[in-house]
Structure 1
Amino acid sequence: MSQTNAILEKPDAEALAKTKLRSDFVWGVSTSAYQIEGAAAEDGRGPSIWDTRCRTAGGVVNGDTGDVACDHYHRYEDDIALMRDLGVDAYRFSVAWPRVLPRGRGAVNDKGLDFYDRVIDGALAAGIEPWLCVYHWDLPQALHDQGGWANRDCAGWYADYAALLARRYGDRVKRWITFNEFSVFTLFGYAIPWAAPGITDREQHLRAIHHVNLAHGAGVDVIRDLVPGASIGAVHNRQRVLPEGDRAENVEAAALLDEHWNLAFCDPQLLGHYSPRVAKAIEPYVQAGDMARICRPMDWFGLNHYGPIFAKADPTRAWGYGWGDAPPDSPTHGVGWAVFPDAFRDELLEITRRYRMPIVITENGCGGNDTPDESGAIDDQHRINYLRLYNAKMHEAIRAGADVRGYFVWSLLDNFEWGSGYGNRFGIVHVDFATQKRTPKASARWYADLIKSERFRA
């Protein structure tokens, strides 16, 4: 038995047996627009920075694109039926900004707005609550051409876009998310060029951090004003940053990356100030009153978590740090990511200590290279083991005082995994991208059974 499986098959059964979840605990699945919708040039949708990235040499593995992806734009009814069969309470999805505002501002695309009406109404009819994420990385290319997130005006453009969605869907959608993974799309978009728009510039990275924070605050205000009874959160990808080995330069690299990754958005949004290193660097871009505009009342903290990050000094990178390697004896799952389940529990407790907020786990999951067997079944035991163990660690955190109110698997479907293209599969439902056939994996059945059993104990 591999070390990976040996560890993943030892969940804390007592944690699951002894911890009773809240009666209103939410079980869900997550997706995002560009990763599943396809129909990239249909019904008036404008191009996004990810459409451009996919057509940039070396931008995405194998030159893959989101042009078709999972064809959710045409198959959303089938996908809602899959969610209904799973028995989930909620569906976290995102709206594609360029689908509803092809140029990012100005003329509205009614066909795009109509599509999300159909998704929302379909989910509600199936007894599934829609959780709407306003921004999941697909900035309209027309806005990037005007400076994108490095332009302070982008915060206002975002606020207008959020207001459009709030007015259109606020009668049916009460769970709102301003942004998904602030640190990822700003760092990888403006400092380490692994994502759209693929810029390497420290000043633009700092500007993007601050302007995205301003956009978040403005979004909270417009949603609060326009949606009675709105429950508003933001989704942060948080994980402990550890140095590769114990060299002093790697320890320093990890400390700076930790501030950019874990603190540059959570602290100003929830505590009203930047962390020390970020505050000093970002000071030239902060205007009077900005911190009050950023720190707005929030209802819950959205956590995306997979495992810790390892950092090392890298003088070729904009900030002098790069991604390091986990210790060579670390267990890994299907796509090579290290598995540290205790870090999941510890992160839930650290968020509780630092921010004193209810937590919703908005993404957690396991990648792999899942292929059907001769019978067409996908027996993804590695994912079941991972999900079982991480759910056990969630229970441990709850026992220790974390106020966790929901858990969403990433992801419902195998999809376009950004720079990795279609090589990494995170879905609990297999997608044959040639035929678009959906096949629930063994993990889908396991997740459905987990939800049933937890509801029975509630």
Structure 2
Amino acid sequence: MEHKAVFPEGFLWGTSTSAFQVEGAATEDGRAPSIWDSFCRLKGRVDNGDTGDVACDHYHRYAEDVALMRGLGVDAYRFSVAWPRVLPRGRGMANEAGLDFYDRLIDTVLEAGIEPWLCVYHWDLPQALQDLGGWANRDSAGWYADYTTLLARRYGDRVKRWITFNEFSVFTLFGYAIPWAAPGITDRGQHLRAIHHVNLAHGAGVDAVRALVPGASIGAVHNRQRVLPEGGKPENAEAAALLDEHWNLAFCDPQLLGHYPPRVARAIEPCVKAGDMARICRPMDWFGLNHYGPIFARVNPETTWGYGWGDAPPDSPTHGVGWAVFPDAFRDELLEITRRYRMPIVITENGCGGSDSPDESGDIVDQHRINYLQLYNASMHEAIRGGADVRGYFVWSLLDNFEWGSGYGNRFGIVHVDFESQKRTPKASARWYADLIKRARSAT
């Protein structure tokens, strides 16, 4: 594979995690419950009744995990701050012990020669704020702005890469319309309000970081996957079009173009007040993309919006967890983002799951993941050659972790975690990724 002609100078290689998925220490040092702590305790919502109480114990083992990253040779570590760890009630008095943890983490990352990329929000709203209406309450934009201000003042002397939110559409759609994620509400009005208030929060967060962190580079992470009608059937076309707006456009378009897409715009109009769109559409430095594969939609009149998840064509190639593999869709998405938004792109998540386990010798040979990453990196190369301005690539994920509704049964890490002993073991994919980084650097 030729790297010299593909990667721009300064191209970044990284790994990503998120607070709730790896930290554990759910009740230590003043941390209060998040909506995901509550959701995990609802019967049947998470496979095997798993919780994030311990997860990967990153709260205590972060130094070991940073050493693993250093061994991989990555340039950057994308992590998130747990809102209920630093502001247990979501607002008001800060928790010094929680803030101190991220001081230690950031300093350790920097000492390893790795750049910290701080994501302000990765789905773990404090339960105390959900009790006040959560993202369906317009005050949530102000709560978020205050929280972001706290982080920017505390860490802005060392952290220059800031991410306002991770995957806006996932936590709003699955949290307020399809009950697959916290807080598990199904209400069309609350879903629309959550979309708009999260957009307002994003704009307020951009302004807070811009004002407080000299030289800040600010982005937001969007999950974008092409939405196709299941089976190519005409009766599924409108379902696919509406899901496409909710999934791919309801946040990118207002944040970067200043307006909602047409179907969402008509429905969300009662939520929009004078000046709101200007507050949402703030100057950004780069576009964060999480991508795994396309989505197939079908008509389902029993759901909140009349659409449901469909199945990929039965002859589609699949990887470890049965997801269809469509590397060309990754290339096309990078080119479409370039065309539509004309911004530098950082791939902030890409990877695949599996049921990886050690063999008799203790090795974890996750060839399916290596195959997937090879295919998707090749598609990234094609997109760059086609004009996509891609500046970095972060694999999801550093560690096997708590995978939301899948609990611990679906492993996405390039490092295996034994959740009983917390032993970390790099998989074959970790060695492959380290070698990829080394070869890419040597070619520039």
Per the normalisation by structure 2, the TM-score is 0.99
1:142 aligns with: 128
Q: How far apart are 1:317 and its partner, in Å?
A: 0.4
For 1:135, the aligned partner's letter is: Y
* Residue of 197, 203, 208 corresponding to 2:194: 208
Q: Is the contact between residue 19 and residue 395 of structure 1 (CA under 8 Å) also seen in structure 2?
A: no
Report the Cα distance in structure 2 between the residues aligned to 1:243 and 1:249, rounded to whole angstroms: 8
Q: Does residue 1:105 correspond to 2:94, yes or no?
A: no
Give identity over the alignment, percent: 84
Which residue number in structure 2 is paired with residue 288 of structure 1? 274
Counterpart for residue 415 of structure 2: 429
* Displacement of 1:22: 1.5
Paired residues for 1:18-33 under 5 Å: 19-33=5-19
1:160 aligns with 2:146: yes
Is the contact made by 2:4 and 2:443 (CA closer than 8 Å) also made in structure 1? no
Q: Which amino acid aligns with 1:53?
A: F
CA contact 2:3–2:443 (8 Å) conserved in 1: no
Query: Aligned partners of 2:57 and 2:232: how far apart in 1?
Result: 47
Q: Which residue of 2 aligns with 1:335?
A: 321
Which residue pairs with 1:71 in the alignment?
Answer: 57
Is the 1:237–1:304 contact (alpha carbons within 8 Å) kept by the matching residues of 2?
Answer: yes
Identify the match of residue 125 of structure 1 among 91, 111, 122: 111
Structure 2 Cα separation of the partners of residues 246 and 40 of structure 1: 45
Q: Return the offset for 1:23.
A: 1.7
Residues 356-393 of structure 1: CA deviation (Å, up to 9, x unaligned): 00000000001110000011100111111111111111
Letter in 1 for 2:382: E
| Residue-by-residue CA offset, 1:112-157 (whole Å, 9 max, x unaligned) | 0000000000000000000000000000000000000000000000
Is it true that 1:312 corresponds to 2:336 in the alignment? no
Q: 2:425 aligns with which of 439, 451, 454?
A: 439
1:193-342 pair list within 5 angstroms: 193-342=179-328
- Between the two proteins, the alignment pairs up a number of residues equal to 444
* 3-state secondary structure, aligned to 2:43: coil
Shift of 1:17: 4.8
Residue from 340, 343, 346 that aligns with 1:357: 343
Root-mean-square deviation (CA, aligned residues, Å) is 0.7
Q: For residue 272 of structure 1, what is the amino acid of its counterpart? A: G
d(CA) in 2 for partners of 1:451, 1:433:
28
In structure 2, what is the equivalent of residue 181 of structure 1? 167
Q: Which residue of 2 aligns with 1:85?
A: 71
**Residue type of the alignment partner of 2:18:** S
Cα deviation for residue 247 of structure 1 reads 2.8
Matched residue, 2:442: 456
Residue 412 of structure 1 aligns with an amino acid whose one-letter code is L
Counterpart selection for 2:396 from 410, 414, 427:
410
CA contact (8 A) 1:28 1:90 kept: yes
Q: Which runs of 5+ in 1 are unaligned?
A: 1-12
Instruction: Provide the C-alpha distance between the structure 1 equivalents of 2:403 and 2:16, rounded to a whole number of angstroms.
Output: 13
1:382 and 2:368 matched = yes
Per-residue deviation, 1:249: 2.5
Return the alpha-carbon distance in structure 1 between the equivalents of residues 154 and 219 of structure 2: 19
- Indicate yes or no: 2:354 matched with 1:368: yes
For 2:130 and 2:399, locate their aligned partners in 1 and report how far apart those are by CA, in whole Å.
Answer: 29
Rounded to whole Å, the distance in 1 between the matches of 2:143 and 2:216 is: 21
CA separation in 2, counterparts of 1:106 and 1:419?
31
Equivalent residue of 1:236, what SS? Answer: strand
1:19 deviates by: 2.9
Per-residue displacement from partner, 1:302-327 (whole Å, max 9, x unpaired)?
00000000000001100000000000
Matched residue of 1:92: which SS?
strand
**Consecutive unaligned residues in structure 2, runs of 5 or more:** none
Q: Secondary structure at the match of 1:39?
A: coil
Partner of 1:425, secondary structure, is coil
